[in-house]
Amino acid sequence: MTTPLEKARKDPESMKARILTVARRIFGEYGFHGTTTRMIAQQVGIDISTLHYHWGGKKDLYEAVVVDINKDLGQQLIETEKAIHGLPLTERLEIGIDRMTDYLFANPDISNMILFRYFGKTRYEGNADFSVPEFTADIARSMGLARDKRNVPPETMMKVLAVMNSIHAFIAGENFFCPMVKVDRKRYIALVKETLKFVHIPAFTLNETR
Amino acid sequence: MTTPLEKARKDPESMKARILTVARRIFGEYGFHGTTTRMIAQQVGIDISTLHYHWGGKKDLYEAVVVDINKDLGQQLIETEKAIHGLPLTERLEIGIDRMTDYLFANPDISNMILFRYFGKTRYEGNADFSVPEFTADIARSMGLARDKRNVPPETMMKVLAVMNSIHAFIAGENFFCPMVKVDRKRYIALVKETLKFVHIPAFTLNETR
DNA sequence: TTATGAATCCATCAAATGATTGAATCGCAG
DNA sequence: CTGCGATTCAATCATTTGATGGATTCATAA
């Protein structure tokens, strides 16, 4: 059996998939309440009723976006883990940061949506949620900072969160920080990687060698 | 001459000040579009028309909140700078992080509002803005990382941004991260300070001693 | 006490917004 | 071609939401 979301992902040209893609971007930019179904429909170039026909209501579409993003991010984490498996800690961090940064700069909706979920409340009783807690524990284990993902010490969780938060913040805040630092986009991306590595790698390696 | 905002701040019991205080909290929690004037009025315990009588429209109130927060945060940065002036870099960082963390945990609206401004767009043509760029350059100078606040190198700006973003994220994300790390509020605050110092102090001191 | 202006609330409006209905259109199997 | 289900759109509805007008209350000075 295939869920509606899976069906939509199979054919990126399908109306359902096109709506989902645009919804991801707009929800990420404006948040749940800042987004109107009309904005999404207009961007896709369709009528609102077509949007409702495919996805039901605004909340349903929003929750589909959450599930979609969870899936993409989870997949990316798995691939990243494969790429760094078995390497020494410093290299794991360097390559991991590089890959995740590149991926999220190419998919800023993900960082945007996750940050909205962290900090903002919604007026409706939402059920869908991001898998950030599981992902965070997974990263800790993948980095060799914990054996069992069910039992990661709080100090380690906090350090992993610090890294992930830094990445998301620099990605989602690009439009704000880029002019502030007075560099172009390309230089900004390089600076983000540089800064992340320079700031966070010592924090993990110092801990290990003690 | 006193602006309306200054007048409101003089007497915290005045209706204008009470509305502003509640508006700060609700705008911080739900963002601009997620907040309705009725929510604010209800929390204050007044009618919507009273709110409009004192502050004009929703946008006006929102922008007053932005100005209010800029003032508070700027004042806090000045006081923090006085407290750390002349100390060695490591102590400046430790005390600075401690003070700012305590202050922002006591005023989470500030972190919430600033993050909303970083990452979220609004549908209306806003004019009010946070003074984060100036503040960031000020911090860099205060930390002795730049002589002239008009000419801070991008690498330094990025490191300062990394610190401030980390603080704001841990503050604004308390409700999300606290259960994730499975600690109570008091322990969480201690962990935040600990993590921030452990992660960021080496990044600045290593740079200096080279 | 009364007159005056400030402050507050009730009732209501106009626009925005999520959602639905029913008619038209499209694609394609028979 | 015909018929039928899937898809799309124009028109419309119901609710929410920002905002306003006017009556009422309140404080205070004369």
Dig out the tokens for B144 from the structure.
Answer: 């002795």
Is the confidence at residue B206, as pLDDT, over 50?
Answer: yes
The residue-averaged pLDDT of B54-61 equals 96
Average pLDDT over residues A45-68: 96
Model confidence pLDDT, tens digit, residues A157-203: 999 999 999 999 999 999 999 999 999 999 999 999 999 999 999 88
DSSP-assigned states of every residue in B160-187: HHHHHHHHHHHHHTHHHHHHHHT--HHH
| Other Cβ atoms within 10 Å of B53 Cβ, number | 13
- Report how far apart the first and last C-alpha atoms of chain B are (Å, whole number): 51
Residue B149's CB: how many other CB atoms inside 10 A? 14
CB B84 within 8 A of CB B142: yes
Report the percent of chain A where pLDDT is more than 70.
Answer: 93
Distance from residue A7's CA to nucleotide D2's C1', rounded to whole Å: 31
Q: Which amino acid, one-letter code, is at B42?
A: Q
Predicted local confidence at residue B208, as pLDDT: 53
Average pLDDT for B136-162: 92
On the question of pLDDT at B125 being above 90, the answer is no
**Residues B176-196: what's their mean pLDDT?**
97
Look at residues A75, A93, A73, A74 and name the one whose alpha carbon lies nearest to residue A84.
Answer: A93
Size of interface A-B (CB pairs under 8 A): 153
Q: What backbone phi and psi angles, to 5 degrees, belong to A126?
A: -80, 150
Whether residue B118 has pLDDT greater than 80: yes
The rounded percent of chain B whose pLDDT value lies above 70 is 93
pLDDT at A6 over 60: no
Task: Please state, rounded to an integer, the average pLDDT across all residues of chain B.
Answer: 91
DSSP letter for B100, please: H
Higher-confidence position of B177 and A3 = B177
A120 touches B at CB < 8 Å: yes
Rounded to the nearest 5 percent, the helix, strand and coil shares of chain B are 80, 0, 20
pLDDT for the residue numbered A9: 57
**pLDDT reported for residue A208:** 53
- Torsion-angle region of residue A88: left (phi > 0), alpha (psi -120 to 50) or beta? beta
**What H or E segment, with its residue span, contains residue A11?**
none
Which token pair is B82?
């006085």
Residue-wise pLDDT tens digits, B159-176: 999 999 999 999 999 999
Q: Report the gap between the CA of A1 and the closest CA in chain B (Å).
A: 33
Instruction: Give CB contacts under 8 A, 24+ apart, made by A175-181.
Output: A176/B117, A176/B118, A176/B119, A176/B132, A177/B118, A177/B161, A180/B132, A180/B133, A180/B136, A180/B157, A180/B161, A181/B154, A181/B157, A181/B158, A181/B161
**pLDDT at residue B6 in the model:** 55
User: Is residue A1 scored above 50 in pLDDT?
Assistant: no
- Nearest residue of B to residue A192 by CA position? B158
Q: Of A126 and A77, which is predicted with more confidence?
A: A77
Angle in degrees, CA B50, B52, B58, rounded to 5: 135
Measured in residues, chain B has a length of 210
What is the arithmetic mean of pLDDT over A52-66? 96
DSSP state letters, A144-186: TS-S-TT---HHHHHHHHHHHHHHHHHHHTHHHHHHHHT--HH
Q: Which residue has the tokens 């899976």?
A: A6
Q: Is the pLDDT of residue A148 over 70?
A: yes
pLDDT for A125: 82
- Closest residue to D8 (CA, C1′): A50
Given this model, what pLDDT does residue B3 score? 46
Residue type, B63: E
pLDDT-derived band at B99, boundaries 50, 70, 90: very high
Distance CA B74, CA A177 (A): 19
Overall average pLDDT of the B134-159 stretch: 92
pLDDT at A206: 72
Task: Judge if the beta carbon of B123 is closer than 7 A to nucleic acid strand C.
Answer: yes
At residue B10, the pLDDT reads 58
The Cα B120–Cα B117 span in angstroms is 6
User: Best of A25, A119, A185, A200 to disrupt the B interface by mutation (most B CBs within 10 Å)?
Assistant: A119
Q: What is the pLDDT of residue A207?
A: 57
Residue B1 has pLDDT above 50, yes or no: no
Residue type for A208, please? E
Under a CB-based contact definition with an 8 Å cutoff, are residues A181 and B154 in contact?
yes
